[in-house]
Amino acid sequence: MKSNYKKLFSLKKGTLISLFCGAFIMSATAIVALKEKFHSKTLVNFSNFFFPTAIILGIAGFLYIGVKYQKAEKPDELYRELETKSTAYAGYALLLAIWFIGWFMILWGNSRHNEVFHIKGSDVINLGLFLWGFHYFIKSIIFLVLDRTPKSEEDE
């Protein structure tokens, strides 16, 4: 008789999925912003292929996870502590990224001898989406770095 047991979905796999979602949000936002800026036929063709493919792969991935795994692991105290640390560090990285963007805009404006920028609402939305994806991406990387086992403990 075949067992109906499904494996638990590990928290590390959930963090990897969050990492890929953040990377997808950043890349999709960059493609949309470049398409709006340059009106390139190549970018239009690429986005016509990229977005439907990404949506189909995302739905297939969620269905695969739902079929293969029964439920997620319950987070323990160490997971919560690392999650809190990685969220805080990601917040610092996000503030640092905003600071760099501001300095880039100041220096670019000075090099053009024109410090006035014309920013549309879609530019603000794209920047917000990009920073949202950046936050997920950085948070996941920091969590995975904090969660790794040191070399001295692996050898034992």
Which domain covers residue 101, as residue numbers? 7-147
In a domain, 109, yes or no: yes
Nearest to 128 by CA among 84, 85, 97, 86: 97
Tell me, yes or no, whether 153 lies in a domain.
Answer: no
**75 pLDDT band (50/70/90 cuts)?**
confident
Instruction: Look at residue 1 and tell me if it is in a domain.
Output: no
Least confident piece of the model among 8-12, 28-32, 70-74, 149-153: 149-153
> Is 119 inside any structural domain?
yes
| pLDDT score for 89 | 92
**Is position 83 within any domain?**
yes
Decide if 58 is inside a domain.
yes
Whether pTM > 0.85 for this model: the answer is no
pLDDT digits (tens, 9 = 90+) for 95-135: 998 888 888 877 777 676 766 767 777 778 888 888 888 99
How many structural domains is the chain composed of? 1
